[in-house]
Amino acid sequence: MTSVSPTDPKYASRKRQQELLSKYLSVRSFTNRIVAPLEPEDCVIQSMLNVSPTRWHLAHTTWFFETFVLKSAPEFRAYNARFEYLFNSYYNSVGQQYPRAQRGMLSRPTVAEVLDYRRAIDEQMIARLESAKRLTDQELDVVELGMNHEQQHQELMLTDIKHVLSRNPLTPHYSSDELQVDSHRLTSSWLDFEEGVYEIGHCGDVFAFDNESPRHRVFLESFSLCSQTVTVGEYLEFINDGGYERSELWLSLGWHQVQTHGWQGPLYWQQKDGVWTEFTLSGQVDLQPSLPVCHVSYFEADAFARWAGARLATEAEWEVASEDTPEEGNFATSLMDSGAAIHPNDNASTTSDLRHLYGNVWEWTSSSYAPYPGYEAPAGALGEYNGKFMCNQYVLRGGSCATPVGHVRRTYRNFFPPESRWQFSGVRLAR
Amino acid sequence: MTSVSPTDPKYASRKRQQELLSKYLSVRSFTNRIVAPLEPEDCVIQSMLNVSPTRWHLAHTTWFFETFVLKSAPEFRAYNARFEYLFNSYYNSVGQQYPRAQRGMLSRPTVAEVLDYRRAIDEQMIARLESAKRLTDQELDVVELGMNHEQQHQELMLTDIKHVLSRNPLTPHYSSDELQVDSHRLTSSWLDFEEGVYEIGHCGDVFAFDNESPRHRVFLESFSLCSQTVTVGEYLEFINDGGYERSELWLSLGWHQVQTHGWQGPLYWQQKDGVWTEFTLSGQVDLQPSLPVCHVSYFEADAFARWAGARLATEAEWEVASEDTPEEGNFATSLMDSGAAIHPNDNASTTSDLRHLYGNVWEWTSSSYAPYPGYEAPAGALGEYNGKFMCNQYVLRGGSCATPVGHVRRTYRNFFPPESRWQFSGVRLAR
Amino acid sequence: MTSVSPTDPKYASRKRQQELLSKYLSVRSFTNRIVAPLEPEDCVIQSMLNVSPTRWHLAHTTWFFETFVLKSAPEFRAYNARFEYLFNSYYNSVGQQYPRAQRGMLSRPTVAEVLDYRRAIDEQMIARLESAKRLTDQELDVVELGMNHEQQHQELMLTDIKHVLSRNPLTPHYSSDELQVDSHRLTSSWLDFEEGVYEIGHCGDVFAFDNESPRHRVFLESFSLCSQTVTVGEYLEFINDGGYERSELWLSLGWHQVQTHGWQGPLYWQQKDGVWTEFTLSGQVDLQPSLPVCHVSYFEADAFARWAGARLATEAEWEVASEDTPEEGNFATSLMDSGAAIHPNDNASTTSDLRHLYGNVWEWTSSSYAPYPGYEAPAGALGEYNGKFMCNQYVLRGGSCATPVGHVRRTYRNFFPPESRWQFSGVRLAR
Amino acid sequence: MTSVSPTDPKYASRKRQQELLSKYLSVRSFTNRIVAPLEPEDCVIQSMLNVSPTRWHLAHTTWFFETFVLKSAPEFRAYNARFEYLFNSYYNSVGQQYPRAQRGMLSRPTVAEVLDYRRAIDEQMIARLESAKRLTDQELDVVELGMNHEQQHQELMLTDIKHVLSRNPLTPHYSSDELQVDSHRLTSSWLDFEEGVYEIGHCGDVFAFDNESPRHRVFLESFSLCSQTVTVGEYLEFINDGGYERSELWLSLGWHQVQTHGWQGPLYWQQKDGVWTEFTLSGQVDLQPSLPVCHVSYFEADAFARWAGARLATEAEWEVASEDTPEEGNFATSLMDSGAAIHPNDNASTTSDLRHLYGNVWEWTSSSYAPYPGYEAPAGALGEYNGKFMCNQYVLRGGSCATPVGHVRRTYRNFFPPESRWQFSGVRLAR
């Protein structure tokens, strides 16, 4: 056995390895915190194709570390040979995948068995990261990717379980934490930005996904961005003005959705005897006009903007405009810490001109999700992470109340098909 | 309050009431025995439209007593007002039903909560049956119907959980009890019956479902019935002779099923590298040629019979032929008691000429499920129990290894659509 | 070449051969009469899965003679090698079939080309039947089958084109012949029949399909049959009494149809501003209360009977009851001859006690279509004609206004799935 | 009646009105030329959702002039009141539309009746354009839009009828004109373009659709474009290198298409006994390696480019690169005039560096179809022409062999969903 030279440039500094260990423990522990309120029965339901059972998320995020970090070691032995198939999401390079549409057909492994699996992989990961045998920078990059990957699934666990619980006529709720509604609501205003050639995309040393690179130039005409996101009250005006009955406000595909699915408001909104309520992770509550509207599709965001005489921003505009705004806001971690419901709120703590740019709700942009000029997917299985999804999806920016703190950044590109509504997605107007 | 006169003819004898209480306790307790080996996660999965989650069966059978026995009492208070909707199967007269196709979308009430529900209703039922205030005969008839109803669901719990577990690549099994295979196999023979006008249908005092009445006359040509049901070995000959590739052996709808679903053998059979295995409630096992074939559809039973130069019996032939055969056989209760797998076996204990006529496998008849001449469905909601299903289904006779002991009888008519395979359904030839 | 001995018993008499030639010419010519009013565009549309384009019927009936009569001759040359595939309906023994669901995807061969095909095959058939070289009885049996087959398709051409035209918002009509409505309507009465063992099924020398044999005994309880079929006026009472909203009147599968397809009346009925009209082959007309109701499914027939406190007859009851009624009525041929619309009417010409037992509307029976005791399908491809469809269909008796004269008989068994409504199917009550 | 002042600025010049009349006659006449080879039966088939029957195209293009030009006149009387509903494609502002998916359910009006309709509207249009009473510029704009609209449908008539005929096992062909294959094939090369801020979008006086405006600036990195489109021979190399079996070459949605639909080559390609042939408007022919590949989806274009180590151009790159290339090429009009098949060819007549940039095949770009900065849809029904389709589609540039001459231009934006293959769509590589 050769001893590792601490000065070999391909090996990471001891410091980075220690920092990642610490962050690893923190990320994994937050996942446990998310699932703590759930019953085993909650964790196996797939309430629609896009939703995965909680148990699947718990296993898949663990599978990621086992497959992409631990598997390459010569002494590796699979925890359970069938898991490679069962918990592979979409990595064709790794092998066949258990069909996504059938994730709700599996009662085993039980939640308890999956938690055992998590603990076993954690032990191996910790041993690896604590080991005197240093990992290469490339290996640590994969560990870091795995942690960011798990954070993405933390958000999905919250949005997926919300969907699962919402389907139940008993309207069970995830937690009893209450929504926060602030009485001092600021009025919105328009912020102006000048035309010019700008640079967007990832730069610097912090972690970023491949789809944020390369940094490149774009030409922007002058534009304005609204100081805050659209509120529930404003959205109700749209509805009351016949928003869901006027085809001229909608993209053709959006109108088709409205007609086919009978949309009459955002997902989780319900009107009964003239009273609007909303299903939240803290149960069924009355609509709060001052809160940001969320759970709208791209189609609804676009139709609302057209109704309001405005439009959605492009992702380049959003990124250019965000330059001076600190990456702070209502994220899942702080909401949980403060005993507040996982839901957007309207606290006025932020002093930025662009209020709640981060956290609260993801903001739909008008940009189709596409590779940046010069983008190349990484080699191997991890090249399947982002690039192959660059078609028929739209970019969202800024993170939401279900995003763990520290996960998003200015250049972060989230993306969903235009009909998706089960994420905490909202609207910021541009013109 | 009037005291009940023990001699009022509309009130049941104290003895009947006591007997039903005793049977009630026994039936309810057997349900608990069936679910004992399951994990909570197992109990919420709906693996296909026809399958209900175990938790649903547990609640629905309880709902039946609550709705049809307890609800009529003046002091009745619903255990949970939403349960009437959630656990109503198909009784339009009672009210709207939670959609059958979405039974697997519910994580709550949890299994533990449903067991609480069961206990609460049991307490009320026991109090009612123990009460000095005697019940009318009609009320006790409904109690008895509820117990027979629960026994039907006991069989469905076993066949449904078998389907749920079979969909899992980890092939979990329900129990570790082993299949029983007897080495002394008897050869089959034909038993002959003469033409004539016969009577079939329910008569006498024992409980029977409405669909077994009225007793009536039929004319039968002379016929022969095989002394035993078709074996796995015989069925393999059919397969090896191209049974699943020869359209001329099949009904048109059956051939469509074969083509559409790629059937190559009974449900749960699997061929891999030339070796046939079968998924059972005790796990994946090698095929046992001497055991009765099961999990075949009406279409397969019919095609096999055509291949064998024979046919299926009509239900009238089956009932006439069964006259001298005692209602004994391999039922779920005795198999569990003796530590044997819930699976048909070939023990030679029976001395009847028509071996294993009861228990082991339900026997498809060629009779479309139809009302007997003069049949009338009972008034009210319980009239929906049987009559409205008399279309596009075929009658099966004799019970199976998943039927609780004491449930079936000579005149018992089970029925399923011709493509159904997830029951323990097999084949007895006639000609 | 051997000369045929006129006394060889396997050869048919010259007389039979001449009679069949004459009937062949007559049948083929009636087909041409049916299609005469149609445009080429009408003849290629498949308005639902069960409907075939007229052009397909024209070709398929010709294909039948080419395949089953002409092909066996040594000098045979296919008219077009691809036609064997294109115009084979469901004969697996003959070979692969062009998919039924795609019959409306074909613009070629054009109608004119198919009429050329018909003429070419007619020439060969005539030559064969006129030839001095006599055909065997078995060969003539196939010729006769082919003519009866074409008559079945004549009825389908009329019911299929009715469906095609009905889908068009321009409501084109097939002919301008008018409906006949008689003012002297007789009231209905019940005819009684005694219990006993009866014989049903084909006997004698006239042509019959294999499914009408063998003649056999059945036991019938005493029963009554209504003197006439249910009228439009009576059916409107059922509708006005909430017939389509009361689940307790329906079979479960029937209620599912009502809910899924929004049935509110028979096929082709339409209510607009409180006025009921009906699409007929002679255009959109007001409902005529005295005419027989038609285009109802088995489910509707069954629900109506339950509402009326009656039931449908079994096919055995129908056949036994029909013993003294002459096989006369409103058939397509005579309606066309007299310039009347192809639609049931209420002329009082018939003097039978069971009025309009033949012609006008097919009468749903409660009998599932099943083989008679001892039935065996013929060997070879023609064995696929009837037997393989004996599942999930219900028997109809008596012929309709779209049936060519001389086609049906007392023992004739028509059959359709219980949800079918596009045939001229009606209701006669029993009890 | 007031006489029109020739100098009123809102009225068009007499010259423009005369020119449009002349063009109107020419466009309408070319439509008749396209349908001349077809049988009536060909004209009513809808072979897939995206295909419209020829008869529908003939009527809809006429409906466009009737609705948007003639209807506003005070003396207007609808030709047939039902046509407004039947032949409205997607203009919600005009009213309800006959369902697109059912266009193949209509046999009437017949083709002859639709040709009558065309002649009647032509008469009115000619009278209007010949009238001394001059039209306003805005009215003439709509006339011009209607002619460009009809030209778009001329291309669709050719691609739709190709699809209809291709579904027929008899492989009927549209014409007997032969494919042109040139033996002197030029090799491809890369042309380089420099980075910078460019202007794209419509400018000048010629007709353009609203989606080509406004002209605006974009920043482009330096790029290269291939001198010619991908050939059949090159595409075969991709296939032979496992192009359709290697998931890593495909977008995720594209790979799903490959798997779901079993794609193994471009639409209309067929491999039988190792030999590749292709269905063309002139029948089934052997693949010609030197011809441009066509009938590929965006997914295939993208996968091919990835395999080739290149990419697709953005639409801005395409437009910038095309600056010096004349708008000439193989268009439908000239191919018909010269007796050549409607199919891309490889004639070397063009002397441009970017060969066959116009005509032959539409070139997929990597640009999602989106509004240009500052785009606004026109008011009223004609605002539904383009804008509402700007979602989940990709832009194609340059026109094809099925495009009528004079229809496309440098700034022309065609668009189709990424899975579409029935247009003459091909690939030009960029990097």
Identical fold between B9-166 and B190-430: no
Of residues D82, D168, D170, nearest to C169 (C-beta): D82
Average pLDDT, chain D: 94
Of residues C40, C85, C106, nearest to D40 (C-beta): C40
Chosen from D35, D41, D168 to mutate, greatest number of chain C CBs within 10 A: D41
Model confidence band, residue D7 (pLDDT cutoffs 50, 70, 90):
low
CB contact under 8 A, B86 and A170: yes
Across the range C371-376, mean pLDDT stands at 96
Residues in A touching D368 (Cβ below 8 Å):
368, 370
Residue A283 parent element (H or E):
strand A283-286
Of residues B366, B368, B373, nearest to C221 (C-beta): B373
Across the range C208-217, mean pLDDT stands at 97
Length of chain B: 431
pTM for the whole structure: 0.95
| Digit-coded pLDDT (tens) for A188-228 | 899 999 999 999 999 998 999 999 999 999 999 999 999 99
| Digit-coded pLDDT (tens) for A256-281 | 999 999 999 999 999 999 999 999 99
CB contact under 8 A, C41 and D108: yes
Interface of B with A in 15-44 (CB under 8 A): 39-44
CA distance D169 to chain C (A): 8
Q: Are B72 and B135 in contact (CB under 8 A)?
A: no
Q: Which residue has the higher pLDDT, D184 or C37?
A: C37
Residue-wise over B43-62: b if at least 16 C-beta within 10 A, else e? bbbbbeebbbbbbbbbbbbb
CB contact under 8 A, B41 and A110: yes
Residues in B touching A167 (Cβ below 8 Å):
102, 105-106
Model confidence band, residue D3 (pLDDT cutoffs 50, 70, 90):
very low
CB contact under 8 A, D221 and A217: yes
Residues in B touching C256 (Cβ below 8 Å):
none
Tens place of pLDDT for every residue, chain B, 431 residues? 344 455 666 776 889 999 999 999 999 999 999 999 999 999 999 999 999 999 999 999 999 999 999 999 999 999 999 999 999 999 999 999 999 999 999 999 999 999 999 999 999 999 999 988 889 999 999 999 999 999 999 999 999 999 999 999 999 999 999 898 876 667 889 999 999 999 999 999 899 999 999 999 999 999 999 999 999 999 999 999 999 999 999 999 999 999 999 999 999 999 999 999 999 999 999 999 999 999 999 999 999 999 999 999 999 999 999 999 999 999 999 999 999 999 999 875 667 899 999 999 999 999 999 999 999 999 999 999 999 999 999 999 999 999 999 999 999 999 999 999 999 999 999 99
Model confidence band, residue D29 (pLDDT cutoffs 50, 70, 90):
very high
Q: Give the contacts of B183 (CB within 8 A, at least 6 positions apart).
A: none
Residue percentage of chain D with pLDDT more than 70: 96
Alpha carbon distance D156, D93 (integer Å): 24
Q: Are A282 and A175 in contact (CB under 8 A)?
A: yes
Of residues C82, C86, C107, nearest to D164 (C-beta): C107
Q: How many CB atoms lie within 10 A of CB B307?
A: 18
Alpha carbon distance C88, C94 (integer Å): 8
Q: Any CB–CB contact under 8 A between D370 and chain A?
A: yes
Secondary structure (3-state) at C357: coil
Q: Any CB–CB contact under 8 A between C93 and chain B?
A: yes
CA distance A255 to chain D (A): 9
Model confidence band, residue A3 (pLDDT cutoffs 50, 70, 90):
very low
Query: ipTM score of the complex?
Result: 0.95
CB contact under 8 A, C45 and D104: yes
CA distance C313 to chain B (A): 11
Residue-level pLDDT at A187 = 83
CB contact under 8 A, A167 and B105: yes
Residue-level pLDDT at C183 = 60
**Closest C-alpha among D315, D311, D325, D348 to residue D224:** D311
Lowest mean pLDDT among A124-133, C412-421, D152-161: A124-133
Residues in D touching A374 (Cβ below 8 Å):
221
Across the range D379-401, mean pLDDT stands at 96
Q: Any CB–CB contact under 8 A between D254 and chain A?
A: yes
Q: Any CB–CB contact under 8 A between D164 and chain C?
A: yes
CB contact under 8 A, C370 and B373: no
Residues in C touching D96 (Cβ below 8 Å):
none
Q: Give the contacts of A7 (CB within 8 A, at least 6 positions apart).
A: none
| Digit-coded pLDDT (tens) for A287-319 | 999 999 999 999 999 999 999 999 999 999 999
CB contact under 8 A, C248 and B373: no
Lowest mean pLDDT among C230-234, D14-18, D151-155, D243-247: D14-18
Q: Any CB–CB contact under 8 A between D169 and chain C?
A: yes
Position D240 pLDDT exceeds 60: yes
CB contact under 8 A, D172 and C105: no
Q: How many CB atoms lie within 10 A of CB C346?
A: 24
Q: How many CB atoms lie within 10 A of CB A257?
A: 18
| Digit-coded pLDDT (tens) for D103-129 | 999 999 999 999 999 999 999 999 999
Residue-level pLDDT at C350 = 62
Residue-level pLDDT at B309 = 97
- Provide the terminal-to-terminal Cα distance of chain D, rounded to the nearest Å: 63
- Chains with ≥3 CB–CB distances under 8 Å to B: A, C
Residue-level pLDDT at D9 = 66
Alpha carbon distance D406, D19 (integer Å): 14
CB contact under 8 A, D108 and C170: yes
Q: Are A428 and A225 in contact (CB under 8 A)?
A: yes
**Side-chain half-sphere CA neighbours of A236 within 13 A:** 18
Secondary structure (3-state) at C180: coil
CB contact under 8 A, B40 and A40: yes
Residue-level pLDDT at A99 = 96
**Closest C-alpha among A20, A331, A18 to residue A146:** A20
Residue-level pLDDT at B9 = 64
| Digit-coded pLDDT (tens) for C295-322 | 999 999 999 999 999 999 999 999 999 9
Taking CA–CA distances from D298, the nearest residue in chain A reads A391
Q: Any CB–CB contact under 8 A between A216 and chain D?
A: yes
Model confidence band, residue D182 (pLDDT cutoffs 50, 70, 90):
confident
Residues in D touching C82 (Cβ below 8 Å):
169-170
| Digit-coded pLDDT (tens) for D93-106 | 999 999 999 999 99
CB contact under 8 A, A41 and B55: yes
Tokens at D98, concatenated: 């006959």
Residues in C touching D98 (Cβ below 8 Å):
169
The strand pairing partners of C311, in sequence order, are C430
Q: Are B143 and B255 in contact (CB under 8 A)?
A: no
Residues in A touching D371 (Cβ below 8 Å):
366
DSSP summary character for residue A398: S
At residue C360's C-alpha, the angle toward residues C359 and C365, to 5°, is: 80
Is the torsion defined by CA of A145, A151, A152, A154 positive or negative?
A: positive
Query: What architecture is domain A9-166?
Result: Up-down Bundle (1.20)
Domain ranges, ordered by start, for chain D: 9-166, 190-430
Residue-level pLDDT at B3 = 47
Q: Any CB–CB contact under 8 A between A81 and chain B?
A: no
Residue type at B19? E
Residue-level pLDDT at C8 = 66
Residues in B touching A86 (Cβ below 8 Å):
169-170
Q: Any CB–CB contact under 8 A between D49 and chain C?
A: no
State how beta strands B358-359 and B329-330 pair: parallel
Alpha carbon distance B292, B288 (integer Å): 9
Q: Any CB–CB contact under 8 A between A48 and chain B?
A: no
Of residues A44, A111, A167, nearest to B45 (C-beta): A44
Alpha carbon distance C8, A296 (integer Å): 85
CA distance B168 to chain A (A): 6
Q: Are A50 and A393 in contact (CB under 8 A)?
A: no
CB contact under 8 A, C170 and D109: yes
Chosen from B107, B116, B163 to mutate, greatest number of chain A CBs within 10 A: B107
Chains A, B: CB contacts under 8 A, how many? 90
CB contact under 8 A, D169 and C107: no
Break chain C down into helix, strand, coil percent, rounded to 5.
Answer: 40, 15, 50
Residues in D touching C47 (Cβ below 8 Å):
105
Tokens at A47, concatenated: 């309430």
Across the range A158-186, mean pLDDT stands at 90
Residue-level pLDDT at B113 = 98
Residue-level pLDDT at C13 = 83
CATH 3.90.1580.10 applies to domain A190-430: yes
Residues in C touching B366 (Cβ below 8 Å):
370-371
Q: Give the contacts of C50 (CB within 8 A, at least 6 positions apart).
A: C420, C422
